[in-house]
Amino acid sequence: MGKLSGKTAIVTGGASGMGRGVALNFAEEGASVAVLDRNEAGAKEVAEAAAANGAKTIGLACDVGDEAAVKSAFAASAEALGDIDILVNNAGIDTVELIENMSTEMWDEMMRVNLKSVFLCSREVIPAMKRKGWGRIINFSSQLAHKGAPQMVHYCAAKAAVMGFSRSLAYELVEHGITVNSINPGPIDTPLYMSIPEDWRRDKEASMPIKRPGRVEEVVPTVLLLASDEGSFYVGASMNMNGGDVMV
């Protein structure tokens, strides 16, 4: 029996990178998995790969910053797989710009995708989790929420807000058997990270004690822990796997 047998999960941003790794791992551990992403073809590909291990899966297009899209995709996921037990809010974007050159549109899009989405998606799953008396909400923040970074004030602000959101929601839900925690990885070798300018990545990695980005497989075990019964004592925690970039 897998650690997530009998559970149903939604993973946002599941078409690539850390979301893909989490979705495949959850399926291996016995969960039914809905893979959501703006890249519909990618979401379906990951869902099909997860189903190869015998899991019940669905891949759907979803813009997680759009309320109507979230409601539609979450309803379709629940109809196909059952009430959602585990939500992984992984979807996100990453851009760099000095604040004096940053457009209002760039700021707003960062908040919409990286912060508003966490609110919208979490709100959708809470009623069913309360009815069951069990649930897991795992929100991807960043180590930069702790320390900040040049050219990333919008990203760091959004990720710090995700951490605060997670801690506050943990207070609201723990009495219902629902835990809320945040994952705060450092640079991870994913398509999103590789989209950042090379000079920024080079400087960041040079400043880290470990001198390299992390790998998806170095993050996934922590997500699995928080999603499982074994993670029941983690409440409002900030899990920091970042190669020593922030030591807390």
pLDDT on residue 193: 84
Q: Is residue 147 part of a domain?
A: yes
| Predicted confidence (pLDDT) per residue in 186-214, tens digit | 888 888 888 888 988 999 899 999 999 98
Question: What residue numbers bound the domain in which 135 lies?
Answer: 8-239
Q: Which of 155, 171, 193, 234 is catalytic?
A: 155
Q: Is residue 121 part of a domain?
A: yes
Q: Is residue 96 part of a domain?
A: yes
Q: Is residue 45 part of a domain?
A: yes
Q: Is residue 59 part of a domain?
A: yes
Q: Is residue 2 part of a domain?
A: no
Q: Is residue 94 part of a domain?
A: yes
Active site residue 155: yes
Number of domains in the chain: 1
Distance between CA atoms of residues 75 and 125, nearest Å? 10
pLDDT on residue 25: 97
pLDDT on residue 62: 98
Q: For the chain, which ranges sit under pLDDT 50? A: none
| Predicted confidence (pLDDT) per residue in 146-181, tens digit | 999 999 999 999 999 999 999 999 999 999 999 999
- Residue among 190, 184, 183, 165 at smallest CA distance from 227: 183
pLDDT on residue 98: 97
Q: Is residue 224 part of a domain?
A: yes
Burial of 176 (0-12, 13-18, 19+ CB in 10 A): middle
Contacts of 200-208 spanning 24+ positions with Cβ under 8 A:
200/96, 200/151, 204/149, 204/245, 207/245, 208/242, 208/243, 208/244, 208/245
pLDDT on residue 190: 87
CATH of the domain at 112: 3.40.50.720
